[in-house]
Structure 1
């Protein structure tokens, strides 16, 4: 140790009152930690919804968490179905259970407002179909959409909004971590001298 280094060491010891230069590393808050924390909280929300509502789908909760994440990544029902190993119909039912209605789900071949009225009045499916001049399968499909919208509205869209918020936070944390890593690499690379002669 030269004289200058010894002086610096003495200043350090006087200032900190310790002789250890390194600090204990905190647990990282990287993308994996953020993602697993968000998934855990999404799972809690799914469990609360299952307690509160009668689910039409029998997709397990772990898969429902993955479904929520894929939904907010704009994956189509067919892609989610492939990912989970279930039918597209099961994905649709699960989305309705979780109040995850897409705008395209509301593109009915008849007046959806009329269907809402018939649903509120508890008109039987066959009568709804006759009233709307559509087949029962189509009316049943859009009745599920109307029912999911109604449940979501009664809950002030709370569950859907919480899902979106959790996954947005997770993506932001993940993005900041990746941006910081890229910026650090870029700065380090700028200092590298590239004067190489062949």
Structure 2
């Protein structure tokens, strides 16, 4: 250890009162999952639902696995009646569970329901983090977004190549 490193170490020890400079490192689970592995996707969805349940007051008593199924089938395009049949609950329970997960349909917005507005505000405050995570896991939205932006950039670059930029002000 050179003098500067030793001096920095001494400053750290004086400032923190700790004898050790390093912390134990634990491998984080990360957020990337194999979209072709349904078990990995379900595990990530369960983690997201648990996080939401800790952060927000869920209005239904559905179990986490029921929420995961609801989220999956929502992204498969099932309507509330089909979701209610699949979960063996009422359509109102499905609607409240969808709103718990920030999953809002256009028809919900059209009705201008106060619960929908609160859900939209809650989702916005979370930067749509949960909706985006669900979409990333269950759709090709992330891939489509990247490919679309790449094609737009390529198209603009080619279109702008022949433009004369000799402009005087």
Q: TM-score, normalised on structure 2?
A: 0.61
1:75 alignment partner, one of 75, 78, 95:
78
Q: Report Cα offsets for 1:24-74 as digits up to 9, x if no partner.
A: xxxxx794xx11111110000000000000111111111000000000011
In 2: Cα distance, 1:43 partner to 1:102 partner: 22
Does residue 47 of structure 1 match 2:50? yes
- Going from structure 1 to structure 2, the CA distance change for 1:35 and 1:92 (only over 3 Å counts) comes to same
**RMSD after superposition:** 1.7
* Corresponding residue for residue 138 of structure 2: 167
Match of 1:93 in 2: 96
> Which structure's CA Rg is the greater one?
1
Task: Determine the C-alpha separation between the residues in 2 that align with 1:71 and 1:37.
Answer: 18
Distance 2:130 2:124 in 1: 10
Question: How many residues are treated as equivalent by the alignment?
Answer: 108
**Structure 1 unaligned spans of 5+:** 1-28, 113-141, 173-198
Unpaired runs of 5+ residues, structure 2, are 1-33, 144-169
Tell me the SS of whatever aligns to 1:71: helix
Once residues 107 and 89 of structure 2 are traced to their aligned partners in structure 1, the CA distance between those partners, rounded to angstroms, is 21
Distance 1:35 1:154 in 2: 29
Runs of 4+ in 1 over 4 A off after TM superposition: none
